Amino acid sequence: MSRSHIALLLCLALSCPSLLDAAQEPTPPKPPKPDTETELKRITQELLDAITAGNPAVWDRHLAETCLFGAEDGRTLTKAQMLEEIRPLPAAYKGSLTIANVQVREHGDVAIISYDIPEKLELYGQTLNTRFHSTDTYLKRDGRWRMIAAQVQVLPSELEPVAVDPKIFDAYVGRYQLAPDVVYIVTREGNRLMGERVGREKEELLPKSETIFFVRGKPRGEKVFVKDKDGKVTRLIDRRDNNDLVWTRAAP
């Protein structure tokens, strides 16, 4: 292509912004057909019921042979491995899985369904409530939707604060540095312990114990105050999914 041709194309693009927009903006997916959404919801609930019933035949019917399943514990399972996972619950267990907050997108012969899975599990007279989230991809062949990929994750439950004497908060008040210009300020406001990274919103630190705190809505993280041998607080550990980021207490 000559320089004159390139220059002509640039002129056309600049004079017609819609041409640039069309090249840069992907075509938005169309809303799913009502029958597609209904069918994927039906299949999804059928698969969930098959888990609690321990019936791998249902999964065998709906999974493509090359399906990859991302389990909540980080493993990636093939279809054969997934079928091995589906077994009846022990005698003392009783569980139920349902779908909630469903969203469906359709792209021709491919459809995606994203949803929450509230689980209620009763065992030995006690009840566990867990919430999962899954995003599943389906491919339509010969008039049937079959799952080709899925990714499941656990949505951590909110922690509940324990009762502590607010007087202990005084020992934690101060400035903690990650770098000279990255500072986290801890203050006490009455009976509440507050934290604020400079430049961000202030947040309440709720006690999980006398030295470990958390922020409502952020169950994956903890704030841990560390003392030296003399009992003086010297560090603040920002623990994220069991990975520690250490903030050093600055001199007053």
Predicted confidence (pLDDT) per residue in 9-29, tens digit: 444 444 444 444 444 555 665
Judge contact between 130 and 194, C-beta under 8 A: no
96-119: burial string, b at 16+ Cβ within 10 Å, e else: ebebeeeebbbeeeebbbebebeb
**How much is the pTM?**
0.75
Please name the residues in contact with 104: beta carbons below 8 A apart, sequence gap of 6 or more: 32, 36, 37, 40, 41, 111, 112, 113, 114
* Mean pLDDT to the nearest integer, 139-162: 94
The residue count of the chain comes to 252
What SS3 string covers 27-59?
A: CCCECCCHHHHHHHHHHHHHHHHHHHHCCHHHH
Which residue, chain included where needed, has tokens 């002509």? 8
Q: Distance (Å, rounded) from C-alpha 136 to C-alpha 48?
A: 13
**Quick one: what percent of the chain has pLDDT higher than 90?**
77
Judge contact between 165 and 172, C-beta under 8 A: no
Question: Is a pLDDT exceeding 60 seen at residue 239?
Answer: yes
Question: Is a pLDDT exceeding 90 seen at residue 92?
Answer: no
Question: Is a pLDDT exceeding 80 seen at residue 174?
Answer: yes
Q: Distance (Å, rounded) from C-alpha 195 to C-alpha 218?
A: 14
Judge contact between 47 and 60, C-beta under 8 A: no
Please name the residues in contact with 217: beta carbons below 8 A apart, sequence gap of 6 or more: 158
Per-residue confidence band for 177, with pLDDT thresholds at 50, 70 and 90:
very high
pLDDT for 29 equals 59
Give 11 or 216, the one with higher predicted confidence.
216
Mean pLDDT rounded to a whole number for the chain = 89
The predicted-structure confidence for 51-75, as pLDDT tens digits, reads as follows 999 999 999 999 999 999 999 999 9
Q: What structural domains and CATH numbers belong to the chain?
A: 34-155 (3.10.450.50), 166-249 (2.40.128.50)
